[in-house]
Structure 1
Amino acid sequence: MKHILLGDLEVSRIGLGAMGMSHGYTGAGTDEAESVRTLHRALELGVTFIDTAEIYGPYTNEELLGRALRGRRDQVVLATKFGLVSHGGAGPWNLDSGPANIRVAVEGSLKRLDTDRIDLYYQHRVDPNTPIEDTVGALADLVTQGKIRAIGLSEAGPETIRRAHAVHPVTAVQSEYSLWTRGLEERVLPVLRELGIGLVPFSPLGRGFLTGKVRSTDGFAEDDFRRGNPRFTGENFQRNLRIADEVEAVAAEAGATPAQVALAWLLAQGDDIAPIPGTKRVSRVEENTAADGVRLTPRQIDRLSSLPPAAGDTHPESGLRMMER
């Protein structure tokens, strides 16, 4: 597994998103043993970059990682996120990046992850009620105290990124980026490169869609969040199947799987990008990490880059309101 630098953090070129082991997707939280095996297999394959958040569960995903990484903590760059749980009473799914809330959140994450430091601590979503300077100032204090090593933002827009970076260096921005979600290329990515900030794409496989395995939503559990996602519903779903079919065609030509091709395309976009495909299965982490060895031809990259935009928004309206672009 190749490594890259996100700021001063050295991470594996492909990381692992742990959310689906506990939250959001069909089967989440039903097989901890397989999730632990998946995490351990990822480490064996050279993955050193693992991502979670306090909201996943809430809390249960961090607890899972704390158990699974016991005795192996020093093998990983561990990232988690705050800001979607208001610890002062409003609770989960309420934006709160105030300094007081951050101080409570970090202690909870450290305890659940069974660690004395968090390598990369992200603001999960920008809080419009708290100046970003106040948020980053509180995070900078945590860096000084040794509780976190580096500061990140998630789904932040160019102005917020610049203002945050002016207070304390931002190491990475995590945003949705894939063959069917490319909105950050025009405005956000140039700012990251100007400032030397790494990009961590989440949902690099389009929440499973780009693997070619999702041909219907009939198998989704009632609590699978994709059931309410505009790209997985109605005519949008049928139109988006054509994108998955094109990825599959390139995969057949390249002698790889569609998931590997989608990840290889992302890796070809620059050496400052470290995607975190999520899975809770050993077989999938083996497939995804092998994408590091897939080499697409310039013609194949151009073909993929020319795919039409996905039909439908990336999130329902409630989710879109929490995102900056």
Structure 2
Amino acid sequence: MGIETSCDETAVALVDDTFSVRASFLTSQMERHAAYGGVVPELAAREHLVAILPLLEQVAGGAASLRKEVRAVAVTYGPGLVGALHVGIAAAKALAWAWDVPLLPVHHLAAHIYAARLEGPFHYPFLALLISGGHTELVLVEGPLAFRLLGATRDDAVGEAYDKVARLLGLPYPGGPEIDRLAQSGEARYSFPRVVLEGYAFSFSGLKTHVRHFLERAEAAGESPRPEDVAASFQAAVVDVLAEKTFRAVDETGVRELVVAGGVAANSALRRRFAREAEARGVRLRIPPPAYCTDNAAMVAALGVELLHAGITADLDLPARASLSLDGWPLSDPYLADRVRG
């Protein structure tokens, strides 16, 4: 069983040893937070409290039969909103204790990568581009539970840049799907900057600021650029940078498999561009279906299967972590390091 409450989705799922999804249920708080233009942590935690038990009951069906089937309970313990994480962790601890099964500590970003495992086996080593919420990271996955961070954003992550530009265009939260939809009827006629830093580092704050200044100058000049064209131009700049960095990493590492994961991986322009680039290189591209790109519990349970196979479990003192590096995880987390070595 997987439980996910790291941000504004409450989710519970069942995944078996073959990584097949047996059940997956989710409740989104998106409408509750839209009025604020972003997730309000205290409100998110309260909404998780309301949603978690009904979702568990949905998945449980016949509780007695479920108890016989569940071999372990996996739960996201970080990174995320601490109050929100505590709701899921408390539920998972209660179930693991009551059912006398292992408690499995899941890293949220690693779980996004493992969403692709639901579609078939991995071929190591492979490269993963994580574009989820406040995270934009390139990770070399050298083996099961062996993550090496190659580069990350130095300021705004892709998802944050989308939300901020959407607000400039008067679009509702969350901005990613709205800009993607709008861009499909627009033309990338404006030359917005492609910020390409050294190595595998990313930066999207300057692009967001450029769009703001562009709109301010247009308004001062009495011009009205089509929002569709602004959205298409912004999205083209984002996709160009992500593709340039990612496929340079593919070429330099020599991997033959690429996973793109996280909420922004559902973007239609990105999926088309990455499919073309991967095909040209003969690289196997793995992007989960849109339903498994955003936060969900099936990905948590999938990583839980890997943790269970590796014998990595947690005690009932498992903490919630607001920040948690993926580089070297699980060895990089002092809480898990001794369990991994053991």
TM > 0.5 fold call: no
Based on CA coordinates, which of the two structures has the bigger radius of gyration? 2
The higher relative CO (CA closer than 8 Å, separation ≥ 6) is in: 2
Tell me the TM-score normalized by structure 2: 0.29
Greater helix fraction, Structure 1 or Structure 2: 2
